[in-house]
Amino acid sequence: MSNIIIKAEGLGKSYIIDHQRTERYATFRDTVSQTIKGLFNNKSSNVREEFWALQNINFEFNRGDRIGVIGRNGAGKSTLLKLLSRITEPTTGKISLKGRVASLLEVGTGFHPELSGRENIFLNGAILGMARSEIRSKFDEIVDFAGVEIFLDTPVKRYSSGMYVRLAFAVAAHLEPEILVVDEVLAVGDADFQKKSLGKMKDVSSKEGRTVLFVSHSMAAVENLCNRGMLLDKGKVAYIGTAKESIEHYLKGNDILGSKILANTKYVNEVLMFNCDNIIASEFEMGTDFTIQINAKGIKEIQGLHLGFFIKDEFDQKISAFSTAMKPLKLLYNSEENNDSYLFKIESPNLIEGKYIIDISVAYKKGGRLEYIENAYVFHILSKDVYGSGVFLNNNFGKIYLNVESTLKTKA
């Protein structure tokens, strides 16, 4: 018996993008009026474009694999999961699945707020394809895992969001499908819950031999949970291998934009970022060094003029700043380039996972700005278990983490 549980051959999914239609769904009235217009208007104003969300995907995974599916936004991860869970049909190719596929749903998708916890367990179970007898036999375990015993007969609309999440996860985790599909659901919930659910998924796979397909932007979670990895890029498989290798490929990301040419500026022309291996990148693991390179001209020629940058979070709050006025520059001569390159190597930055934005400023030390470029560059910090304790820091923990030496003094 072969051990392959999921196999995709030549899988593809295309969507037709209708450029003319801006509304999300048609109305019958519009369709009629457009058909009539079309009769009199020979020149078709309808620009239709085929968009391939996924193209020629081939892979095989074995029973008990925990597969991390990674890739940038729009790489086709969610579309792949939709195909696997049969929510939409593939346009080309085929998938062979041995066993039941269940997706861990976004919190509360299968819940009805008016119904009690007990009723919702049955409802959610049925939606995920469980028989009532099956749910009944697992009922106590589910309630136990979620820790909602005393609220079983309360409508879930009165639940706290934490209880909601726990209950939803508990149902899905106890469902025992051969293939469990998990899409970014762990982004919610506190660190404790994340740890508990990652542990549960690991158990499900290693003890019961089930296959887990895990989609996440959190490299740390993928590395922690998965043994296999698949990197998608622009609808195609870019790499399949161990989780670690896939993450490395992702971080190297040759095709990931790592520089930006600035237009309409007088002094600053280009921003680039490099990771600790000196490879151009825009995504960095938490705690690893990175370098910001700013190419500019005409700054050193003016006495007292300095170049600096601000790092902001996605809500435009300034996190930190640095300028050549603060610390003297080390000089290197490079005769080939027209531009001057300013390199700022930031050592073990204590930034927590998230999106960060760089503003660049050219100003006199005594005040007076000559140039200020807002949102000159965007980079991402990817989460990592920096303390090695299984706690993944995400934006629930702020923007900055601390290097702490903690001590407990007590009577011996």
Partner 1 sequence: MAEELIIEAGKAEKNYWKDLWRYRELFYILSLRDIKVRYKQTVLGVLWSVLRPLITMIVFTLIFSKVAKLPAAGSAPYAIMVYVGMLPWQFFANAISEASNSLIGNTNLISKVYFPRLIIPTASVITSMIDFLIAFFLMLLLCLFYQYLPGWQIIFLPLFLLLAFTLAIGIGLWITALNVKYRDFRYIVPFIVQFGLYVSPVGFSTSVIPEKYRLLFYLNPMVGVIDGFRWSLLNGEPALNVESLLISVLISLLFLWMGITKFRKMEKSFADII
CA distance 205 to 129: 19
List of E strands, 286-368: 290-296, 305-313, 318-323, 340-346, 354-364
- Phi/psi region, residue 132 (left: phi>0; alpha: psi -120 to 50; beta: rest), is alpha
SS3 label, residue 321:
strand
Min dist CB 91 to partner 1, Å, is 6
From the list 25-33, 292-300, 314-322, 346-354, the region that binds partner 1 by CB under 8 A is 25-33
Nearer Cβ to partner 1 (122/193): 122
State in Å, rounded, how far the first CA of the chain is from the last one: 60
* Binding residues with partner 1: total (CB under 8 A): 48
Amino acid, single-letter form, for residue 315: F
Q: Is 141 in the site for partner 1 (CB under 8 A)?
A: no
Main-chain dihedrals φ then ψ at residue 402, nearest 5 degrees:
-110, 145
User: Per-residue x/- marks for partner 1, 64-103, CB under 8 A?
Assistant: ------------------xxxxxxxxxxxxxxxxxxxx-x
Stretch that binds partner 1, among 65-73, 123-131, 140-148, 325-333 (CB under 8 A): 123-131
Which stretch, 34-42, 122-130, 233-241, 243-251, contacts partner 1 (CB under 8 A)?
122-130
Token readout for 285 is 């693991």
105 binds partner 1, rule: CB under 8 A = yes
Structure token digits, residue 389: 């304790």
**20 is a contact residue toward partner 1 (CB under 8 A):** no
3-state SS assignment for residue 141: helix
Rg (CA), the chain: 26
| Of residues 170-189, those binding partner 1 (CB under 8 A) | 178
Q: Pick the closer one to partner 1 by CB: 29 or 411.
A: 29
Amino acid identity, position 195: K
CB of 84 to partner 1, least distance (A): 8
Q: Which residue in 56, 59, 112, 269 binds partner 1 (CB under 8 A)?
A: 112
In the range 194-253, which residues lie near partner 1 by CB under 8 A? none
User: To which residue do tokens 């049909």 refer?
Assistant: 89
Under the criterion CB under 8 A, does residue 129 sit at the interface with partner 1?
yes
Distance CA 410, CA 56 (A): 63
Residue closer to partner 1 (CB basis): 52 or 372: 52
Structure tokens at 26: 């048609």
Under the criterion CB under 8 A, does residue 378 sit at the interface with partner 1? no
Nearer to partner 1, 87 or 326 (CB): 87
Residues 6+ apart with CB under 8 A from 361: 307, 308, 309, 310, 323, 369, 371, 372, 373
The nearer residue to partner 1, 103 or 194, going by C-beta atoms, is 103
The span of 23-31, 33-41, 64-72, 188-196 binding partner 1 (CB under 8 A) equals 23-31
Q: Which stretch binds partner 1 (CB under 8 A): 119-127, 220-228, 260-268, 348-356?
A: 119-127
Report yes or no: 304 and 364 within 8 Å, Cβ to Cβ. Answer: yes
Of 289, 281, 388, give the one whose Cα is nearest residue 346.
289
Binding to partner 1 by residue 55, rule CB under 8 A?
Answer: no
The least distance separating partner 1 from the CB of residue 30, rounded to whole angstroms, comes to: 8
Residue 293 β-bridge partners: 272, 343
Please, which residue, 85 or 265, has the CB nearer to partner 1?
85
Of the pair 53, 232, the CB lying nearest partner 1 is at: 53
**For residue 286, what are its two tokens?**
């938490």
**Residues at the interface with partner 1 (CB under 8 A):** 1, 12, 15, 25-29, 31, 82-101, 103, 105-106, 109-110, 112, 114-115, 119, 122-123, 126-132, 178
